[in-house]
Structure 1
Amino acid sequence: MKADRKPPTQPTTPNIKIPELLSPAGNWECAKAAVENGADAIYFGLEQFNARMRAQNITTAELPKLMAYLHLRGVKGYVTLNTLIFPQELTQAEQYLRTIIAAGVDAVIVQDIGICRLIRHLSPDFPIHASTQMTITSTAGIEFAKNLGCELVVLARECSIQEIEKIQKQLQEKQTSLPLEVFVHGALCVAYSGQCLTSEALGGRSANRGECAQACRMPYELIADGKLVDLGDKKYLLSPQDLAGLDVLPELVKAGVTSLKIEGRLKAPEYVANVTRVYRQALDRIITELDPPKSPLVRGTLNSELDPPKSPLVRGTLKSENLNLVPPLLRGVRGDQNVMKQDQKTNINKVGDSSDRYNLEMAFSRGLYTGWFEGINNQELVHARFGKKRGVYLGEVTRISQDKISIKLQAPIKPGDGVVFDNGHPEKQEEGGRIYAVETKGKETILTFGKRDINFRRIQVGDKLWKTSDPELDKQIRQTFSGENPQFQRPLNLEIHGELNQSLIVIATDELGNIVQVESAINLVEAHTKPLTTERLKEQLGRLGNTPFSLGNLTNHLTGELMLPVSELNRLRREIVTQLEELRQQPKRWQLNSNAKLSELLPTKKPSSLTNSNLIVLVRNIEQLQAALESGITTIYCEFENPKNYQTAVKIVRKFPNLQSPIPSPQSPKIFVAPPRITKPGENWILQQVRASEADGYLVRNYDQLEFFAEQVCIGDFSLNVANGLTADYLKNRYNLARLTASYDLNISQLEDLITSCPTDWFEVTIHQYMPMFHMEHCVFCAFLSEGTDYTNCDRPCEKYEVKLRDRVGTEHILQADAGCRNTVFNGKAQTGAEYVQRLIELGLRNFRMEFVNETPEQVSHIISLYRQLLQGEIKGSQLWRELQLQNQLGVTRGTIR
C-alpha cells in the first residue's frame, strides 16, 4: 500500500531542493550504467520521432520491461518524442503515444506543439516535458508551455544562471510556476535547439527530425570584406567546447532548477556511467554541505525522516569504491591559449575536484567549459582548434629520438594509455598509439611506444599530446554496472515493534513512500544470551546486498530483552524486499481516453477565399526596400539588424506613391517588421523599439512576441515550426495570427499535406531564400574579429565588416548579427521552390514569400520580376531556375522543398 508522505521538516538551508539527476540512455546497457551510478531518471528514444535517430534506441516492445526495471530501482524513465511531426504521421504518432502512456512511462519529452495538444486530448494527466527543441528562453515561453499542458520545461542551453534566477523571480511575481530542467553536461550545440536548419539546408537531414549532421564541428575560414582573415590554427569557428556545469552546480541548485540533464544518447555506457557518477557524488556532497546531519533528499526534497547511518551518499549507496585516479590540473581550452589551465574558482560551494575533471575529460571532451551558465564569453566558448574528442591534455613534445618522445608532463600517464599527437591539423589523419613505457628524467618525462606503432617523421617538437584512452579507468567504470546484482541501492527505513509472546512487526518504507508491514510467524520470547538490540537488528535485517535497497534508518521499539530465531529474521527481510519490489514495479496508471479521436482536433478544411497570388518580399536593408517598392510589391517584410531603422522604413513605405511604380498596384503597400528570433529576460526593450515603428504588422518569431504583439496584426514566422495541422490550428486561432509560415523542414509532399489539411488561406510558403542555417548566441564577429568577450567590449566589428564563413567545399556562407548580438549564418546559395509554385497554386495557396540577404537593388528588382512572371504564368519554374543559375553569381539550388 502507499503511505501518505508527511511533510519534511524544515532544512537548515530553507527553500533549497536538490535537483533530479537525469542521464541519457541509447540502449539497455546505457540504462543500466545510469541506474547503477546514481541517476534519478533516464531519458531514451524509441524507434521513431526522437532527436537522436542515429542512436541504437530502445524498442517499443522492450518498453514495459524497461519501465519495470527502472521503477524497481527507484528511477524514472522519460521517452523522447522531441521532433517535428508531419501531417501524414499524426495517426501513427497517436498510436505510438497510446503505447507509451499504457506502458507506465513517467513522462514524454516533446518539441511539437501539436503533439502536446494530442497528448492532452488522449490523457488529462500524463506528464509532458517541453523539450529544449521548443527554444524556451523566457517566462513567456514557460507560460506558453504550461498552457499547452506541459508539466516541466527544458530551458534552452543558452540561458545563464542569472537569467534562470530572473525567470524564477518573474514566475513567482506572476504567481505561476513550472519545474525547470537544464542541460548540465555534454555536447554543446552552437545553434539554438529547434532553430538550426543547417543539416536540412546542406544535406536534407533535419536536426528537427533527429538527423543532425554536425556541420558545426567542421572547419571554416573567416572572410572579412572579401579577404581571408589569418586566424592561425583556429579553423573550427562554430564548434563550442563541451558543457561542464560541475563548478556551478551549487548555483544551479540555489537557482531552483528541478532537473539536471546529461547529454549523450549517442555515447557508450562507459560515458554514461562515468559522467553520472561524477555528478551524483557532487550532488551528494552538496546535500551534506547544506544539511550535514540530516538525511537524504528524496526526488528533490529535503527529507529529515530518513537518516541512513554512515552513508555519505544520500539517494543511495554506491557499493564500489570511488575512482581515485591521479588527476590533471587542467580544465579546458580557453580562447587564444593552446593549453588548458586549472580553474581557480575557490569558494565554499565548490563541489568538483581534479579527479572529477579527469574522469569527465576522459569520458569525452572537446575541452570542458561552463557554456553560457556564467554569461557570455565569446573568447572562451569556442577555442576553434579542433571539433572532435581529445581527452586530457598532457603537454607539448620537447624532444624526439628513435621510438621515444620527451614531454614536460602536465597530467598523469602510464603504460597502456592511448595518446594522439596534435599538430594543429585535426582534419588530417593524426598519429597516435599506446604508451609502452614511461620514464622520468628531471623535469621531462620520456614516453616509449611499440616499434612501428608511430610514424615519428610526422611528429615535430611543439606538437601537443592528448590522452585519449585510459584502459584502467574504463575497467573500473565498467565494473560499476557489470553483473546482475544491484550496485547502487536506495535507502530502506525500518520500524520494529513487538512485545513478549507476541509477533515481531516490521514496517518498511522506501524512498518513494511505498510502505509494507510484515509479521513474524513465531512469537518473541525472552532472550537469555543474544537479545534483539538495535545493532543486532541492523546486522540481520540490513543484509540487503543483492537487492535494490540498503538499510537506512532503523528504529527499535521492542519492549524488553527479546529474541527471535535468525532464520525468522531472514524470512522477514526477504518478505519485505519481495513486497516492496512488487509495489515498485507496478506500472503507472495514467488516464487514457479510449474514445478520444485525432480527427476531433484537426481543423476544418476550407477552400481559399483568395483569388490572386500575393508575392511577399522580405528585405534586410533600406536599398532593398526601395527596390521592392519600385517593383510594385505590396506586402513587404523588413528584418534589419537595428530596430531603430524600422521607423525610417515605415516612413518610406507610407510616403511611397504607387504612381511612381513601373507596375501600378491597386492597393497601398503594407510593411511588416520583424523582431529578433530570440527574446530573453530583460530584452523587451528591443520589442518596444520594434513596436515603436508603428508598422502595419509584425513578423513574430517566438512565444514572447506572440504575447507582446497580441493586439497587433501578426504573421507567424518559420521559427514557430508549424509542421502539422494541430500546431497550425493552435497558433492561428489561439493567437489570432493573420497567417502562418510553413516550416522549412517540409518537403513538397509534406507541404502539400499541410496546406490541404487546413484552410489554405492560413499559410504562406517561402519559395526563394538563403536558408538561415545556424542561429546562435555565439558571436563570431566578437570571437574572431575583436579581443572582447561580449557586446560591452567588442567594439562592434559586426558594423565594420561584411563577413562570410567559407566551408570545406568553398561555399561562402553569409554571417549577420541582430539586435540581440546573436548571429545567423545564411546558406551561401539561394534556394528556390519555383518548380513547385504552379502545383501549390492549384492546391489553393496564394501567399508566396521570397527573402533577400545581401543582394544589390538591381538583383532584387530582377529576381522579383522573374517571380512575378512565374506567378502570372508567363514563365515556368524550370525557366526561372535556369535564368537565376545564369544571372545570380551567388548560385541557386533547388533547395529543401523538393
Structure 2
Amino acid sequence: MNKPIELLAPAGNRNAFLAAIAAGADAIYFGLEEFNARKRAENIKLADLPFLCATAHVHQCKCYMTLNIIFFEDEFELIFSLVGKAVEAGIDAIIVQDIGTIQFLEQNFPNLAVHVSTQVTTHNTAQIDFLAQFKNVTQINLSRELSLKDIELINAKLAEHHLKSEIFVHGAYCISYSGQCYMSALLYGESGNRGECVQPCRRAYTVDYAGNDEKQTEFTPFNLKDNCAFNVATELAQTGADSFKIEGRIKGAEYVWAVVSAWRKKLDEIGCGKFHEYKLMKKEEVDINKFLQGSFNRGFSDDYLQGRASSVMFASQNGKADEKNKSVFHVGTVISYTADTKQLVLRERNKTKGNPGYGSNIKECGLPIGTKLTIRNPDASFVCSGEITKVISKPGLKTGSATYEFHLTSKPNPDNPLRIARGQVVTAQPLLISSDKLKKLCDVIAASGNRALNDKGVNGGVGINIIVSGEIDDKLTAEFKSLRGKSIIVNSESLLSKAQNRGLSKETLQSKLCAFGGTSYELEQLDCSGIKGMKDGESSLFLPLKELKSMRRLAVKKLDELQDTDTKKQNNNSLQPSKPSPDLVDMSPVDSKAENVKNKYAVVYNNLEALEAERNTKTRLGTKEYEISYRILEIPLEWTSQTEDYVLTHRDVIPLFSAILFAADLDRAERLLSKFSKGQLVWCENSGLAYLAQKKGLKVIVGSNLNATNEHTIETYKTLLGCEAVVLSPDISTEKMVSLQKYSKIGTTIWGYLTSNQLLMQSKQCLVKNIPDENGKLCLKKDCDRDCLLKCNRRVSFKDLQNNHLIGVNRPGFYSALYKKEILNRQSLLCTPYGEKLNAIVNTWIIDARKL
C-alpha cells in the first residue's frame, strides 16, 4: 500500500455534509454563515456544528472549518467568539487566508491546527519557508496552476518542515490566481476575497472600440473548464501529496455524494485509500465515469498539472457562448403543460448521445422520478427549471410522448412571466442517485451522529470505535476512540509472532479486546484493516489472549480518566482562551493637524526611459506638484542587463518584484537580491521572495497583492519579515483604511495608492486571446507558453453588459492581466476633512506612472 491520501470533500449545507460522509470522505471542509469564501452557499448553521462534528468523528472523518477570507480591523472580536464556539463543537482544523488571522489564532487558540487556504497563492518553496514560521500551520493548499513537477518540488520542501500538502483535484478553476482577483470587488462591489464573488469571469462581454455598432456579439472569453486530475491521480500521489481536495461548496448533496464516491473508489484503486468499507452501498455500484460525467461540469481539463495553459482549457472556444453544464443531455421538446395539474407532456427523442445517466434510448424507459429538467425557448433563453415527481405515462413507442408530474424549482421572473409552451426545448441532469436512496443513506449517517452527541452507543453506553494495527515482530496497537473523537492508544506487551495454528482473527479481537461487559462502554465499530496480512477476518499472527484482555482493561482505565477530565472541564464552564481577547481597536478619528503629519510620495514606473525622464525631485499630477521621496521600478520576470545594472548602481531606485514567481523565476529574482547591498529597499509582492530578501539583510516593502487589510496582518508581516512598509490591499476601501490605527503604533509605515491602474486579475492563461482586437482578430495560438509571456504585447478593449469598460493587456515579461479602464484617483478625496484622517494613517502615497 502507498501512503494514504486524505480525501477532502466540500459541504455547503447539512445534507451535503452527511452525503460526503456516506460517500467515504476522510475530511470535510465547510463554512458557517459568516466569514467564509462561499457566501452564496447555504452554509452550515452554528447550532448544527456539534451534531455534524460528532457524526463525522464516528466515521473517522475530520472537520475543517473555513475562515478563508481577508478580515477588517473591527472583526477580530467576532472571530474570537466564533472560533471559540467552533472549537467547543469539535472542529479539527481551520482553513485561513488572512496572514494576520493565522497569527491571531496561534496566540489565542494555540492547540488549533490551521490549514493555509489556496487564497494565499502558494506556488514556490520560499513561500513554504515563510509559512512554516507559524507554529499552528499543519497543512497548505497549493495553487491550482502548479504542474506535477512543481508540486513534487514543493512537497519535498513541505516534508522538510513536517507540513502536509493539499491539492485541488476536482471542480471549478478560477482563471485568476486565487486570492489575487479583485474583479468582482472593483466592478460590482462584491469582493471575492470576502466570499462575495459574483463570478464575472463566467459572464458575457462585448468589444469596446470606437465605430462599432451598439449591437455587439456577446462572448465569454474567461470561462474555463473544470479541473479534474483523475487521469493523473497516480502521478499526483507519487509527488508526495497528502490530501486530495474536491471543490464544490455551492453544489448540492447529490453532486457531493457522486463525486466523492468516484474519488473514494479511485484512491482505493491506486492504493492510496484507507481501506474504506463500502457499508452503505456495494463497491461495484460506484460507476466512476457515470458519476463524474453525470455531475455538473463545464468539461474537464488537467492541463495545469500537465504543465500547459492551452486554449482547450476554455469551456467557450474562441470566446463563443456554450452550454455551461456539460453533464446535461437533450430530452426532447414540450408538447403541452397544464398548470393546475402540473402535468407536463414531452416528446422524447430516440438517442441520448453523451448521456451518462440513462443508457441510449429514453423512449424505452422514460425519465425516472427525481430527474431535474430545464426548459428553454428555441433561442436558448431560460424559461424554468423543475423536477419530475411522478411518472404518469411512459413514452409511447410510436409518438415518443410521455407525461410527468412536474414541480417547478426556479423562482418566477416578474419581468418574464412563466409560460411553458409547445416546441420549447427540454434538457435533463442525469439522476445518479434517487432522492429517496440518498436520504436513506444520510439518515443512517445522521442516526450515528445523534447517538454521538451524548457519546452513547446503540444500547446507551459510551460508543467506542476501535482501530487495530500491527505486523510480525511488532507490538499490537489499538486506538480506542469515543464517538466524539476523544481517543487513547494502548499497545501489547509482547511482540506479534507467526501463529502455529489458527492466527489472530477479527472474531477473537471482538470477543477479547472489545468485551466491555460491566463497564459504561460499548463497541460501536472494530476496524482491523491495519493488521498486516489480515484477509476475510483472519491472519497468520499470534498474540496470547491474556494480552488482549490486559489491553482492554488498560484502555477502560484510560477512558475513565479521560471522561473524568472532560467532566471537570465542563463544570468549569466552556472553552477559555489561552490569552484574553485582544482589546478593541481605538476607532476614534486621528487629528492629523495635532500630529503634524507630513506625507511622503512615491512614483512607480515600468520602464527605464520614463524613470530617467523624471529624475527631478518633483512630479506633477494634474494641477498639483508633489515632492518625490521614492522612485520604484517594476521588474519583469526576465530583465535585461541594462535594467540589472541600473538598479544595482542606483540605490535610490526601489526594485518592485512580481507576485507570481514559479521556481525558475524565484531563483532568478533571488540571484538578483544577492547582488544588492544590505539595507537596500526592495518591494516584494510575493511572500516567499520577501522572506528571502529579509534573510539577506534587505529592507522589505510588502506589496498590495499580499492583502494587508488589518493591523494584525501588518504586525505579522513586521514580525516575520521585519518590513519597512506595507502597501494596503486593493480590497480595503477608504472607509476601512480609517479604522487602522496611527502607523507609528504599528511599528512600520503604511503605503497606499493615490493614483493607480486598477488591476482586476492576473492569470497563467492568456486573458486576451478570446477577445477580438480592433480589427476583429483573435489569437489562434494553441498554448499560452513562455514565449507568449516574454514577448506578447497584445492589448484589447471590451466592456461588460453593465457598461463597465475594461482593458486586457499582455506586457512582455508579465502575466496576462485585466484592468478597469477608469484610473483610481484619490487626489480630490485628500482635500476633504475625511482625507485628513487618511493622511494621518497612510505615511506614503503612491503615484502609479506605469504605462499599460
What's the TM-score once normalised by structure 1's chain length? 0.69
Residue among 445, 470, 477 paired with 2:431: 470
In structure 1, C-alpha distance between the alignment counterparts of 2:725 and 2:50, rounded to whole Å: 43
- The one-letter code sitting in structure 2 at the alignment partner of 1:639 is E
Q: Distance in 1 between matches of 2:350 and 2:787?
A: 37
> Which residue does 1:85 correspond to in 2?
71
Task: Tell me, yes or no, if the aligned pair for 1:614 and 1:846 is still in contact at 8 Å.
Answer: yes
- Aligned partners of 2:580, 2:638: CA distance in 1, in Å? 46
> 1:192 & 1:585 partners in 2: Cα distance?
49
Displacement after TM superposition at 1:99 (Å): 3.2
1:486 and 1:548 in contact (8 A); partners too: no
Q: Please give the alpha-carbon distance, in whole angstroms, between the structure 1 residues aligned to 2:31 and 2:563.
A: 23
Q: Quick check: 1:255 aligned with 2:239?
A: yes
Q: How does 1:310-709 map to 2 (within 5 A)?
A: 314-322=275-283, 324=285, 355-370=287-302, 372-384=304-316, 389-392=324-327, 394=329, 404=347, 406=349, 409-410=352-353, 411=355, 412=358, 413=362, 414-416=366-368, 417-418=371-372, 420=374, 455=421, 467-470=428-431, 473-483=434-444, 484-485=446-447, 547=524, 554=537, 594-596=578-580, 598=582, 611-621=597-607, 625=611, 631=620, 634=628, 635-639=630-634, 643-644=638-639, 647=642, 670-684=652-666, 686-687=668-669, 697-709=681-693
Change (3 A) 1:494 1:752: closer
- Listed one character per residue, the Cα deviations across residues 761-817 of structure 1 (whole Å, up to 9, x for unaligned) are 611111322321122222124566434343448767973532133211233311123
Conserved in 2, the CA contact under 8 Å of 1:123 and 1:591? no
- How far residue 593 of structure 1 moved from its aligned partner, in angstroms, is 5.3
* Cα distance per residue 1:123-149 (max 9 Å; x no partner): 433211111111111111112111022
Distance 1:146 1:536, change over 3 A: closer
On the 8 A contact 2:794/2:809 being kept in 1, the answer is no
* Corresponding residue number in structure 2 for 1:754: 740
- How does 1:66-105 map onto structure 2 within 5 Å? 66-105=52-91
| Structure 1: unaligned runs, 5 residues or longer | 1-10, 291-295, 298-313, 326-354, 460-464, 496-505, 518-530, 563-572, 655-667, 856-898
Percent identity of the aligned residues?
23
Distance 1:423 1:793, change over 3 A: farther
Of the structure 1 ranges 817-826 and 727-736, higher mean CA displacement relative to structure 2 is found in: 817-826
Task: Give the aligned residue type for 1:242.
Answer: D
Cα 1:198–1:586 shift into 2, 3 Å: farther
Task: Output the aligned Cα RMSD.
Answer: 5.2
Aligned counterpart, 2:149: 162
Q: Which amino acid aligns with 1:183?
A: F
Letter of the 1:379 partner, please give it: S
The residue correspondences of 1:694-773 to structure 2 (distance < 5 A) are: 697-710=681-694, 711-756=697-742, 758-759=745-746, 762-773=749-760
List gaps (5 residues or longer) in structure 2.
337-344, 407-418, 450-463, 471-475, 492-501, 517-521, 546-551, 772-777
AA of the residue aligned to 1:845: V
Match of 1:216 in 2: 201
- Going from structure 1 to structure 2, the CA distance change for 1:780 and 1:690 (only over 3 Å counts) comes to farther
Is residue 57 from structure 1 mapped to residue 57 from structure 2 by the alignment?
Answer: no
SS at match of 1:766: strand
Alignment counterpart, residue 786 of structure 1, candidates 757, 764, 779: 779
Cα deviations across residues 278-316 of structure 1 (Å, max 9, x unaligned)?
1111111122xx7xxxxx73xxxxxxxxxxxxxxxx133
Distance, in Å, in 1 between the alignment partners of 2:748 and 2:510 is 75
1:774 maps onto 2:761 in alignment: yes
Q: Is the 8 A contact 1:398 1:407 kept in 2?
A: no
TM-score by length of 2: 0.72
Give the counterpart letter for 1:383 in structure 2.
Answer: A
Aligned to 2:226: 242
Deviations 1:336-383 (A, max 9, x none): xxxxxxxxxxxxxxxxxxx42322233321222225222223212112
Distance 2:238 2:167 in 1: 13
Q: For the residues of structure 1 that align with 2:527 and 2:557, how far apart are their CA atoms?
A: 14
Q: Which moved more, 1:136-145 or 1:836-845?
A: 836-845
Q: Residues 395 and 36 from structure 1, CA distance in 2 versus in 1: closer, same or farther, beyond 3 angstroms? A: closer
Q: Is the 8 A contact 1:85 1:723 kept in 2?
A: yes
Contact 2:638 2:813 in 1 (8 A): no
The whole-number CA distance in structure 2 between the counterparts of 1:361 and 1:268 is: 16
Displacement, 1:154?
A: 0.8
Please identify, of 220-229 and 26-35, the stretch whose mean Cα deviation from structure 2 is larger.
220-229
CA contact (8 A) 1:25 1:44 kept: yes
- Note if contact 2:647-2:655 (Cα within 8 Å) is conserved in structure 1: no
- Taking the aligned partners of 1:587 and 1:772, their CA distance within structure 2 comes to 52
Matched residue, 2:452: none
Report SS of the residue matched to 2:28: strand
Cα 1:455/1:687, change in 2 over 3 Å:
farther
Change (3 A) 1:677 1:31: same
Q: Which moved more, 1:705-714 or 1:182-191?
A: 705-714
Aligned length: 730
In the alignment, residue 803 of structure 1 is paired with which amino acid? V
Please give the alpha-carbon distance, in whole angstroms, between the structure 2 residues aligned to 1:472 and 1:31: 16
User: Could you tell which deviates more after superposition, 249-258 or 591-600?
Assistant: 591-600
Amino acid at match of 2:728: A
Asked if the contact 1:72/1:585 (under 8 Å) is kept, the reply is no
Label 1:170 to 1:320 Cα distance change in 2 as closer, same or farther (>3 A): closer
Residue 193 of structure 1 pairs with residue 178 of structure 2: yes
Q: CA deviation at 1:455?
A: 4.5
Asked if structure 2 preserves the Cα contact closer than 8 Å seen for 1:220 and 1:236, the reply is yes
Partner Cα separation in structure 1 for residue 304 and residue 750 of structure 2: 36
The one-character-per-residue Cα deviations of 1:482-513 (angstroms, maximum 9, x if unpaired) are 345569x9885599xxxxxxxxxx99756997
Give the secondary-structure state (helix, strand or coil) at the position aligned to 1:482.
helix
- Indicate the SS of the match to 1:774: strand
* Residue range with higher mean Cα deviation, 390-399 or 160-169: 390-399
The alpha carbon displacement at 1:447 in A equals 7.3
Identify the residue that residue 342 of structure 2 maps to in structure 1.
none
Q: Which residue among 814, 826, 829 is the counterpart of 2:822?
A: 829
8 Å CA contact 1:643–1:675 kept in 2: the answer is no
Aligned to 2:497: none
**Aligned equivalent of 2:414:** none
Match of 1:137 among 104, 114, 123: 123
Task: Name the CA shift for 1:514/1:846 in 2 (closer, same or farther; >3 Å).
Answer: closer
> Conserved in 2, the CA contact under 8 Å of 1:129 and 1:154?
yes
- Mapped partners of 2:655, 2:65: distance in 1: 39
Distance 1:374 1:842, change over 3 A: closer
